[in-house]
Structures are given as structure tokens and as C-alpha cells.
């Protein structure tokens, strides 16, 4: 009976994680299927393995899922927050399948995962900080001048700049920049300037 309760808690937790947190915030439909599939798949296989008396079987199953997760993450481009949701869904499935002496322990850990994702992925957390790759329409070899140019361009305080490519012939500079918006910029500077190519 306690196992069925854990199954129900896991389903509620992953539904809240995917449909209550991830999709409303990021709107990537394909990963909804991935997160649900990983969670239910891990829940089913780990539950089946936990009934076996062979401890090596459980270890092998978990190692297999770890390898499959690595392959999945390397086969497509995922942002770091998407990786976090991916492993959260996996962890929820494991907690829902593995029996412990305390039902509340597993349920509490599942709730902790959801709460941490709610807080960690909240857009109000470090909301002024940004990360972009910019293509500048001028070649700027001097680092100090580059930082000053970026701060004026973005109306922000630049914390880190990495030059990915400096083209003196075509007069372009590709930079990876991490910065914080100034109070004057507010939330109006969520996108890059029109003459710069950028991705977050």
C-alpha cells in the first residue's frame, strides 16, 4: 500500500514539476514528453528491479539509466536549467520506486526537489543578470575598450567578457559576455541591440 502511495506522490510531483513549473516558464513542448517519459520509465524499471533479491541488478539498472541520460544530453542542445529539470524528473522517479522505512522521507524529498526547482528557476532570482553571445560590427582588440563599449551598448555593468573571434578584415568581434543590467535599464533591455546578433 505504501508503494502505491509513493507512486501517486511521484506522479503528482512530476506533473507539478513539468506542467506547473517548467512548461509555463519555458514553453518547450518536446521536453515535456522527455521529462514525463524519463520519470515514468525510471519509476517502472526501478520498481521492478527493487522486487528482485539481486542487488547487482538494481545497480546495473541505475548505471544503465545514467548512461542513457548522458547519451540523451549529448545528442541535443540543452540549457543548464533544462538539464536540471531532466535530472529532477529522474530523481523523482527513483524516490517513488525505492522503498524505505519511512514513507514521509521519500515524499518529503520529492517535495524538496520541486520546491528547490521552483525557487532556483524563479525569474526574479538574479533577474538583472544576463548572458549573451554578441556579434559586434567593429574589431576591438583592446580589452578595456571592449568592456567600455559593451557597457555603453548594453547599458549594463559587464562582469566577464570572452572574445571568441576577432576579425580584423571584416571588422567584427564575437564576444561571450556576462553582465548585469543597471537600474536605469530596468527590464526594457531584455533583448540585444538591433545591430548585434545575440543569443541568451
- Own/partner pairs for 179-187, CB < 8 Å, 24+ apart? 179/129, 179/130, 179/132, 179/150, 179/151, 179/154, 180/128, 180/129, 180/130, 180/156, 181/128, 181/129, 181/130, 181/154, 181/155, 181/156, 182/155, 182/156, 182/157, 184/155, 185/154, 185/155, 185/156, 187/127
Per-residue pLDDT of 77-115, as tens digits, reads 778 888 899 889 988 988 888 776 678 889 999 999 999
Is the predicted pLDDT of residue 129 greater than 60, yes or no?
A: yes
Task: Count CA atoms within 13 Å of residue 27 on its CB side.
Answer: 0
How far is Cα 105 from Cα 126, in angstroms, rounded to an integer?
31
* Phi, then psi, of 75 in degrees rounded to 5: -90, -5
pLDDT in the model for residue 75: 58
Name the CA dihedral angle for 150, 156, 158, 163, rounded to a multiple of 10 degrees.
Answer: -30
What pLDDT was estimated at residue 174? 96
Tally Cβ neighbours within 10 Å of residue 95.
Answer: 24
- Give residue-wise pLDDT tens across range 135-182: 999 999 999 999 999 999 999 999 999 999 999 999 999 999 999 988
Q: Is the pTM of this model over 0.75?
A: no
CA angle 188, 24, 6 (to 5 degrees): 145
pLDDT reported for residue 36? 94
Is a pLDDT exceeding 80 seen at residue 64? Answer: no
Task: Label residue 58 by pLDDT band (50, 70, 90).
Answer: low
Residue scoring higher pLDDT (64 or 199)? 64
What DSSP assignment string belongs to 114-149?
Answer: HHHHHHHT-TTTTTTEEEEEEEESS----HHHHHHH
**pLDDT at residue 53, as a whole number:** 59
Predicted confidence band at 198 (pLDDT cuts at 50, 70, 90)?
A: very low
What is the model's pLDDT at position 192?
44
- Residue 61: the pLDDT is 60
pLDDT digits 0-9 by tens, 13-57: 999 999 999 999 999 898 899 899 889 988 887 787 776 655 545
pLDDT at 193: 46
Q: What is the pLDDT of residue 197?
A: 43
Amino acid at each position: 500500500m505504501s508503494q502505491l502511495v509513493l507512486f501517486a506522490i511521484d506522479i503528482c510531483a512530476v506533473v507539478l514539476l513539468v506542467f506547473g513549473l517548467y512548461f509555463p516558464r519555458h514553453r518547450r513542448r518536446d521536453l515535456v514528453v522527455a521529462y514525463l517519459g524519463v520519470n515514468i520509465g525510471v519509476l517502472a524499471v526501478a520498481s521492478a528491479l527493487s522486487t528482485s533479491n539481486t542487488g547487482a541488478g538494481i545497480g546495473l539498472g541505475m548505471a544503465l539509466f545514467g548512461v542513457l541520460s548522458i547519451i540523451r544530453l549529448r545528442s541535443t542542445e540543452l540549457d543548464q536549467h533544462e538539464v536540471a529539470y531532466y535530472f529532477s524528473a529522474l530523481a523523482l522517479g527513483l524516490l517513488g520506486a525505492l522503498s524505505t522505512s519511512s514513507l514521509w522521507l521519500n515524499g518529503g524529498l520529492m517535495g524538496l526537489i520541486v520546491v528547490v526547482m521552483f525557487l532556483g528557476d524563479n525569474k526574479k532570482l538574479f533577474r538583472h543578470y544576463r548572458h549573451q553571445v554578441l556579434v559586434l560590427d567593429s574589431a576591438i582588440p583592446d580589452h578595456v575598450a571592449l568592456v567600455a563599449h559593451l557597457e555603453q551598448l548594453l547599458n549594463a555593468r559587464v562582469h566577464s567578457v570572452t572574445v571568441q573571434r576577432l576579425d580584423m578584415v571584416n571588422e567584427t568581434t564575437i564576444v561571450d559576455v556576462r553582465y548585469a543590467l543597471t537600474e536605469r535599464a530596468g527590464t526594457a533591455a531584455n533583448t540585444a541591440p538591433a545591430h548585434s546578433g545575440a543569443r541568451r
